[in-house]
């Protein structure tokens, strides 16, 4: 399966999203600077460049990503501090390999059919050392509630999605900003679960098939907060809000597994 970030011109294109394969489209976005998103993690399965996806470093040994892309009984390449996805020798980068049987914990209520509770933790057996290129992103302080819903906040989404019109894989990390759509407004028109985050697409920027697990981060100046992960979208259109995974709904499970 493949996920990525996409832009308005994809609205006229049909995107098939299922558990087997997802046809990809992408956003223009902005090219990230080196060290701009030091919590960004890239993944791919050895010998299969089609499985590229993302995650967020939250501790020296733990990475949050989506369960959709975890294939058991496999080795998984993990790229920390990466700017150019396949430049394995770039300064400040750490490349690791994990075992998806031993080193990945999937949320126990993960629903693959509906892409609900689509969360996994990748565990590094050897803790990574922090540096200017590798830093954790903060978790939310409280569970989802009306006072910490992130409604109308501008958030950043980053990843290595494909570039149209030829859908070639991006070599360099890109990013975009979107606004969190008020939960109640989104729920009325597009019924969602409280564990989901609603993203406004009226600006023409939205998450589509491509960068699964792309970190959705709120920058509050003195801290960066991981508010969501790019989930598996059902359609790639700009008229409706996009649905992502809301990190604050899983704090208890996450913190239990970080100990």
Give me the tens of pLDDT residue by residue for the chain, a chain 259 residues long. 433 443 333 333 333 333 333 333 344 578 999 999 999 999 999 987 777 899 999 999 999 999 999 988 899 999 999 999 999 999 999 999 999 999 999 999 999 988 899 999 999 999 999 999 999 999 998 776 555 778 899 999 998 876 655 556 678 998 988 899 887 877 667 777 888 888 887 766 666 556 789 999 999 888 999 999 988 644 455 567 778 899 999 999 999 999 7
Q: What is the pLDDT of residue 26?
A: 42
Q: What is the pLDDT of residue 7?
A: 33
**Total domain count for the chain?**
1
Domain of residue 30 covers 3-258
Indicate which CATH number applies to the domain containing 109. 2.40.10.10
Global pTM? 0.84
**Residue in 252, 251, 258 with CA at minimum distance from that of residue 123:** 258
């Amino acid at each position: 399966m493949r996920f990525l970030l996409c832009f308005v011109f994809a609205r006229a294109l049909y995107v098939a999203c299922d558990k087997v394969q997802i046809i990809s489209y992408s956003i223009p976005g902005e090219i990230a600077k080196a060290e701009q998103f030091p919590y960004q993690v890239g993944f791919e399965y050895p010998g299969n460049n089609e499985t590229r996806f993302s995650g967020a470093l939250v501790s020296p040994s733990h990475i949050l990503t989506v369960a959709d892309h975890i294939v058991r009984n496999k080795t998984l390449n993990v790229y920390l501090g990466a700017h150019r996805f396949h430049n394995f020798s770039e300064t400040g980068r750490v490349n690791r390999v994990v075992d998806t049987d031993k080193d990945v914990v999937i949320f126990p209520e993960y629903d693959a059919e509906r892409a609900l509770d689509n969360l996994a933790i990748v565990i590094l057996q050897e803790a990574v050392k922090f540096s200017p290129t590798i830093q954790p992103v903060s978790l939310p302080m409280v569970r989802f509630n009306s006072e910490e819903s992130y409604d109308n906040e501008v958030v950043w989404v980053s990843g290595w999605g494909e570039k149209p019109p030829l859908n070639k894989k991006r070599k360099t990390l890109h990013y975009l900003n979107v606004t969190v759509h008020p939960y109640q407004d989104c729920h009325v028109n597009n019924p969602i679960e409280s564990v989901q985050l609603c993203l406004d697409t009226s600006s023409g920027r939205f998450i589509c098939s491509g960068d699964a697990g792309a970190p959705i981060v709120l920058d509050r100046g003195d801290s960066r907060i991981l508010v969501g992960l790019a989930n598996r979208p059902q359609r790639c259109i700009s008229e409706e809000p996009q649905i992502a995974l809301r990190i604050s709904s899983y704090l208890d499970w996450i913190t239990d597994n970080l100990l």
